[in-house]
Structure 1
Amino acid sequence: MAIERIHHVAYRCKDAKQTVEWYGKHLGMDFVLAIAEDKVPSTHAPDPYMHVFLDAGNGNVLAFFELPNSPDMGRDEATPEWVQHLAFKVGSVEELEATKAKLEAAGIPVVGVTDHTIFKSIYFFDPNGHRLELACDTATPDMNAKLDAVKWEMLEEWAKTRRAPKHAAWMHEQEFAGTGA
């Protein structure tokens, strides 16, 4: 078996209509499909839902479930809110910066532009509390080759020590140069 691509990624939402409209307005995602049932097809549990699907570009689909009979949405309080997020690729730093300005003009708080050396990104939350990232690749082929060459060594060291390996410390050296940090 070979995985072809992600068919869709599904998250819960508070309000399906609000979610579809928000992603269309702020991220330009088209609404492509809605499915609603009174029973869950896989388990046959009596649990009505609205399942909406959005076009995230290049065959990628982002989906949401509104579950009116379930308790209010929460999040895993043991996991920092910056950890779980959806990251979407954009084509240029200019597009990233323009989107940041558009989001902020709409009253949406944005963190960044953050320079990760191999990409730049911004972070913000959707109306359901899901953290989103927009990222623009900036890596050179040499950077990608350096990272590829050390990935297994880094993973092995991490598995043994649970401390950040320094094989790719060059990615962050500029960030702290001259700051005293």
Structure 2
Amino acid sequence: MTTPLKGIHHSAYRCRDAEETRAFYEDVLGLPLAAVVQEEREPGSRLPNPFVHLFFRMGDGKFIAFFDAPNTVKEGDFALVHGFDRHVAFEAEDEARLLEWQAKLNAAGVPCFGPIDHGFVKSVYFADPNGLPLEITARVASHDAILAEDAKTAHAIIKAWTERKAAARAEGRAA
């Protein structure tokens, strides 16, 4: 049997501009720029496509990364997407730090709403300059107990949800 994956080393997204992205993630969010890879060709295909790949180190040693590849940008690449489509959730130490982050972001001119109580975490929401929805979350004291309890019914909920969607599709209606 294969051992479980250790975790996420980095998540990577496209950015509009390397310096604009650096300023946001390093100066506003305080994530140090850890590395920049500059290449003239795409890995794998080796097609000409000059780019830089920026890596910002998070407090746990993992990274969030961005590609600035100006020759392959398409109209709409940087439109704000719905958080259901994609978002990154950072974790604050506790709710007090979460509220400090919210105040810092709003003071920096980055609209940040919330906190929203999701039961097991509380979260605030904002977007980066590339249209990527971001979240900062803080675990509530009973976080682990809530998730342990939810795990008991998780598979049954997915099964019922899948059946509900199938029935709605068969009847030509929304789930």
- Above 0.5 in TM-score? yes
**Could you tell me which residue of structure 2 aligns to residue 9 of structure 1?**
11
Q: 1:146 aligns with which of 149, 156, 165?
A: 149
Structure 2: which amino acid aligns with 1:82?
G
- Whether the 8 Å contact between 1:14 and 1:73 is mirrored in structure 2 is no
**Could you tell me which residue of structure 2 aligns to residue 170 of structure 1?**
none
Cα offset for 1:16? 0.8
TM-aligned CA distance change 1:73 to 1:56, over 3 Å? farther
Q: Structure 2: 5+ residue runs without aligned partners?
A: 167-175
Which string of whole-angstrom CA distances, capped at 9 and with x for unpartnered residues, describes residues 99-151 of structure 1? 10111111111120111111000000001110000000115144223211111
Which string of whole-angstrom CA distances, capped at 9 and with x for unpartnered residues, describes residues 64-97 of structure 1? 00011123452598x9612110001111100000
**Could you tell me which residue of structure 2 aligns to residue 37 of structure 1?**
39
User: Matches of 2:96 and 2:163 in 1, distance apart?
Assistant: 41
User: Matches of 2:77 and 2:37 in 1, distance apart?
Assistant: 25
Q: Does 1:99 align with 2:80?
A: no
CA RMSD of aligned residues (A): 2.1
Structure 2: which amino acid aligns with 1:43?
S
TM-aligned CA distance change 1:68 to 1:76, over 3 Å? closer
User: Matches of 2:60 and 2:23 in 1, distance apart?
Assistant: 20
How many residue pairs were aligned? Answer: 162
- Whether the 8 Å contact between 1:86 and 1:132 is mirrored in structure 2 is yes
Q: Does 1:158 align with 2:165?
A: no
**Could you tell me which residue of structure 1 aligns to residue 83 of structure 2?**
82
- Identity among equivalent positions (%) equals 33
When normalised by structure 2's length, the TM-score is: 0.85
